[in-house]
Structure 1
């Protein structure tokens, strides 16, 4: 007997299912795609135990005959494509013929389906990929598929599922993506017998308002351009409403939700100098392109795509978004007497800039030019070797930074110098003269380190300190965010948040930790939730405790630009040197940089 054998069909089907069905969200995605391809006008998604016990999708689409209903569960059974030419011109969401077979292989499935010209519906029951029953039953035109006990026959996969709150969040986010892409369809989402969301059929703009609310819609500007090769429409946020996380970013290609770093980067690039580094715009962009110019058959999840002309699509998206921003006077124009009209893209908050033409005298022109070059001159004058011709050599600057960082001092030793005095520079950095040179501290990351260790201590000791609010505040959250609050409620209370869950998506805030800035309670709680979500995606190994501590520290720490009194600076430094690690912030950025007296002497040509 040879060593190589053909796998039994049962094992092969389970392996294949693992590529398509990874969690309840995958089932929701595949079934809703089938409903949309079937021409449904009303789609209902029902979950129990976040989909672990039951996932049911009901639609009023075209339905299936008995023969089609049975064969639909076979691998590679599809009505979407017939020939290789069809594969190059895909216009449906599903086409691989693997979804139903994969779902049936790892669950107990019951399907009821009926076409409009039939009196009775077909009932099909399948368990672990084996056909159990085919019979007739009553059911309105359309299809209802119930998926019970997902991964019941692959317990290892079931054990890898996350908490109910996490699985619910993923499933609901998939539901939202379909709702945005197909506003002409009515969608309903029910979880544990509670209606979470219901969106009536409407136009694209109204659907955005239904999902995110009127206030969110007011922060958006329209994006629209049509060419023979590619078209785009949708919305992107005004620069002043950029966020610190990448949430609320949606890209749809021919109404299929995709993940594409190139397009994301094109959007960010269009905002060049309009938003601060580390901030991200929100956007909902719908791209339309001939299916023959794109490959959606890259991965079974169909989230990744490959364009025939990647650079062309990148440049198109970047140009259109940039044009949309300029159309709304978000980039102010300045007129110079001697040279005519120039454009300056501000790096400050756009709400503080008046959008008008200004006639400048020659001295004012020189002043503006000097301010624009200030940062570049500061670096190149201090480190001449960082300049190559007229361009700033980024690699050389990074090398110099690493050399300086490698000379970080033992902070406690330097702190013991009795003559030490501190000065705040640009409301961002704290500089001190020490016996071996200069010490520079980033005030934001220093405070972040202090709050991070304090948060961990609070979470470990269960001894919170809460500052009660004079008037309780009501916060409306999305169902996905509410799931996170429910999951983290005990942790949030240990940090000092006194909150009550009221209704489906409402939280009432009675008290906050003393570190939360007065008047910003709602904003900071929302930002903590957003950053917690982003951290979960970028670093899945983070424990909820560490993740929450990081998010809390980042969002409640003093910011670059906050002016501090001498007393506040002293307290900040004292608290920093009491931490367990005063050198690096929770995200790995340096807190302290030292420039030695020898380095300064060298820069000034002293021997």
Structure 2
């Protein structure tokens, strides 16, 4: 019987490996940027076209490679970082598996130029789908330039799975920001389709954060610093009042490598316990330095997850250090048992000097004299005579009889205006149960409405009609609102601006880090504007739909979710009736915008069966 197991050809094995390493253009950006950092570069340029689908190029001034190394780096499992298995637990660099460049070269056109400082000439290599096309000697500056073109050109199925340019660009920006935040001492520049998107000169971590996210970032940062035998923590967290609905600005770095850790995130949230609103997420930029032999970074293909030796101790230290940082800046409540709060000086009087009291004496005052006191020294007023107090009640009985007569006449008039049938209709038509459900009687029994889902459906259809028919009405603000956002969020708002105008928003001006809003939709209050936009940006973090209808649908759903009446809100009888009537006036009242049922019905027969048991 012939054998059925055979070795895969190298180009097939590389394409399979590429499935783990290269998922989208952002994966190529991550690998190339980390290679440039490992090469000790001080200036790194990232150039992309069409969100990285057409071109991803990284140019650095690092160490460069020799001719032999330039050829070997595209072989599988070729790396300069590891010699023995024990080296896996003493890594200080990023790339170490030796599969990234081989995987990238298997699914794209790669052009590499590299030269070492001590060499006079460099090498220029072109590879297409794992095949070496050419290798030439060239005059080049010190460093390396990697150009990856036509990603997934030989795997059309994988290319079809890529999202729109807007989505892929967002992922590229995320990877760029992670590397740039981890290495603030390196100069990074980022170009997209010929336009400069970021120019980040060498700076401190705080300056790098402010440069990337702009807006009011500097005002919201609280430093966190702690050093122990287990871990050294350095970075910043945000003040509670700047917390957002989404988790966009949350970064953990371990030994200058970006990671994701739900366990460490829980430690941060525990430090904020009691000082955050429900559902709010703080921003944090925390770099943890731990001994390399106490972590295992080889448990995930993308190396974004790490296994720690002593997670419990790390959790406790991180939580305590953040609490300490918040306490230092009087953000978190601090107990001081030696202080008597009753003796505290009010804030407005803290820096004021006590005024010297003055005494004035009226030398002419005679207590036995009938003359009035000097008005400069007293506000004394002689009381009026009350000898004729009985005159105050003259005619009072007659007035009371007149008022009673008028009251009886009004009651008779009221009873004649409304007949018995109309009085029946004044009885409650709806009832609210547990501030969550609205019960209303119908001919066959009763209907039970979920107030939150029902209001979501009503608002969703209203916003959708406004955006498609372009007849939204706005309410002008007396004082325009200035709302600050990060650079990436400002790009999203720019893309959404036409749709937002159709919902009723009026934008007075747009700047690089903030927008000015002078008008808002009629069913949005001024205090809700920032919450609505934050919720919308959070819902669109994974990308904006390309078609205008899909974009309008997404915005309508997000705004309906933000503005709908929440479970636990008391509604008056009129509000209950309006909500029920509005729901059944919708085109599709049966489900919410998120395809959850909005109401259920119970027939009288069903109730009879319950009582028949």
Alignment partner of 1:531 is 2:539: yes
Corresponding residue number in structure 2 for 1:171:
172
Q: 1:457, CA displacement in angstroms? A: 4.5
Taking the TM superposition and a 5 Å limit, the aligned residue runs for 1:335-414 are: 357=341
User: In structure 2, do the counterparts of structure 1 residues 168 and 475 end up closer, same or farther at CA, with 3 Å as the change threshold?
Assistant: farther
Taking the TM superposition and a 5 Å limit, the aligned residue runs for 1:35-74 are: 35-74=36-75
User: In structure 2, do the counterparts of structure 1 residues 473 and 29 end up closer, same or farther at CA, with 3 Å as the change threshold?
Assistant: same
* Alpha-carbon distance between aligned partners in 2 of 1:501 and 1:105, rounded to the nearest angstrom: 47
* Alpha-carbon distance between aligned partners in 1 of 2:11 and 2:572, rounded to the nearest angstrom: 71
User: In structure 2, do the counterparts of structure 1 residues 236 and 441 end up closer, same or farther at CA, with 3 Å as the change threshold?
Assistant: farther
* Alpha-carbon distance between aligned partners in 2 of 1:490 and 1:2, rounded to the nearest angstrom: 64
* Partners of 1:120 and 1:136 within 8 A in 2: yes
Partner of residue 555 from structure 1, selected from 553, 556, 562: 562
Alpha-carbon displacement from aligned partner over 1:227-284 (angstroms, at most 9, x marks no partner): 1111212111222222111121111111111111111111112222221221111111
Number of matched residues?
517
Q: 1:493, CA displacement in angstroms? A: 4.9
Moved more, 51-60 or 518-527: 518-527
Taking the TM superposition and a 5 Å limit, the aligned residue runs for 1:232-381 are: 232-332=233-333, 357=341
* Alpha-carbon distance between aligned partners in 2 of 1:128 and 1:442, rounded to the nearest angstrom: 57
* Alpha-carbon distance between aligned partners in 1 of 2:223 and 2:315, rounded to the nearest angstrom: 19
Corresponding residue number in structure 2 for 1:389:
none
Corresponding residue number in structure 2 for 1:412:
none
Alpha-carbon displacement from aligned partner over 1:566-607 (angstroms, at most 9, x marks no partner): 76565445424544676875568897899xxxxxxxxxxxxx
* Partners of 1:532 and 1:551 within 8 A in 2: no
Moved more, 253-262 or 218-227: 218-227
Taking the TM superposition and a 5 Å limit, the aligned residue runs for 1:432-581 are: 446-458=454-466, 461-467=468-474, 469=476, 478-485=486-493, 488=496, 491-497=499-505, 512-518=520-526, 521=529, 524-533=532-541, 544=551, 546-557=553-564, 570-579=577-586
Unaligned regions of 5+ residues in structure 2, if any?
344-423, 602-613
Q: 1:224, CA displacement in angstroms? A: 1.5
Alignment partner of 1:12 is 2:19: no
Unaligned regions of 5+ residues in structure 1, if any?
342-354, 360-415, 595-607
* Partners of 1:55 and 1:147 within 8 A in 2: yes
Corresponding residue number in structure 2 for 1:28:
29
Alpha-carbon displacement from aligned partner over 1:481-521 (angstroms, at most 9, x marks no partner): 34534654564455445669968777676754333324765
Alpha-carbon displacement from aligned partner over 1:144-196 (angstroms, at most 9, x marks no partner): 11110011111111111111111011101111111111110111110000001
User: In structure 2, do the counterparts of structure 1 residues 433 and 526 end up closer, same or farther at CA, with 3 Å as the change threshold?
Assistant: closer
User: In structure 2, do the counterparts of structure 1 residues 89 and 438 end up closer, same or farther at CA, with 3 Å as the change threshold?
Assistant: farther
Q: Secondary structure at the match of 1:16?
A: helix
* Partners of 1:166 and 1:484 within 8 A in 2: no
* Alpha-carbon distance between aligned partners in 2 of 1:136 and 1:356, rounded to the nearest angstrom: 79
* Partners of 1:449 and 1:576 within 8 A in 2: yes
* Alpha-carbon distance between aligned partners in 1 of 2:334 and 2:144, rounded to the nearest angstrom: 57
* Partners of 1:168 and 1:483 within 8 A in 2: no
User: In structure 2, do the counterparts of structure 1 residues 429 and 53 end up closer, same or farther at CA, with 3 Å as the change threshold?
Assistant: same
Alignment partner of 1:115 is 2:116: yes
* Alpha-carbon distance between aligned partners in 1 of 2:566 and 2:341, rounded to the nearest angstrom: 32
User: In structure 2, do the counterparts of structure 1 residues 242 and 82 end up closer, same or farther at CA, with 3 Å as the change threshold?
Assistant: same
Alpha-carbon displacement from aligned partner over 1:533-592 (angstroms, at most 9, x marks no partner): 27999xxxx965554332221334457899988765654454245446768755688978
* Partners of 2:245 and 2:280 within 8 A in 1: yes
* Partners of 1:431 and 1:438 within 8 A in 2: no
* Alpha-carbon distance between aligned partners in 2 of 1:330 and 1:357, rounded to the nearest angstrom: 18
* Partners of 2:41 and 2:63 within 8 A in 1: yes
User: In structure 2, do the counterparts of structure 1 residues 180 and 334 end up closer, same or farther at CA, with 3 Å as the change threshold?
Assistant: closer
* Alpha-carbon distance between aligned partners in 2 of 1:161 and 1:486, rounded to the nearest angstrom: 23
Corresponding residue number in structure 2 for 1:161:
162
* Alpha-carbon distance between aligned partners in 2 of 1:14 and 1:484, rounded to the nearest angstrom: 34
Corresponding residue number in structure 1 for 2:78:
77
* Alpha-carbon distance between aligned partners in 2 of 1:500 and 1:110, rounded to the nearest angstrom: 47
* Alpha-carbon distance between aligned partners in 1 of 2:320 and 2:451, rounded to the nearest angstrom: 37
Q: Secondary structure at the match of 1:197?
A: strand
Q: Secondary structure at the match of 1:317?
A: helix
Q: Secondary structure at the match of 1:73?
A: coil
* Alpha-carbon distance between aligned partners in 1 of 2:340 and 2:600, rounded to the nearest angstrom: 42
* Alpha-carbon distance between aligned partners in 1 of 2:325 and 2:581, rounded to the nearest angstrom: 48
Question: Aligned Cα RMSD in Å?
Answer: 3.9
* Partners of 1:186 and 1:200 within 8 A in 2: yes
* Partners of 1:77 and 1:97 within 8 A in 2: yes
Q: Secondary structure at the match of 2:234?
A: strand
User: In structure 2, do the counterparts of structure 1 residues 49 and 535 end up closer, same or farther at CA, with 3 Å as the change threshold?
Assistant: closer
User: In structure 2, do the counterparts of structure 1 residues 444 and 156 end up closer, same or farther at CA, with 3 Å as the change threshold?
Assistant: same
Q: 1:309, CA displacement in angstroms? A: 1.9
Q: Compute the TM-score of the two structures, normalised by the length of structure 2.
A: 0.74
Q: Secondary structure at the match of 1:14?
A: helix
User: In structure 2, do the counterparts of structure 1 residues 421 and 220 end up closer, same or farther at CA, with 3 Å as the change threshold?
Assistant: farther
Q: Secondary structure at the match of 1:533?
A: coil
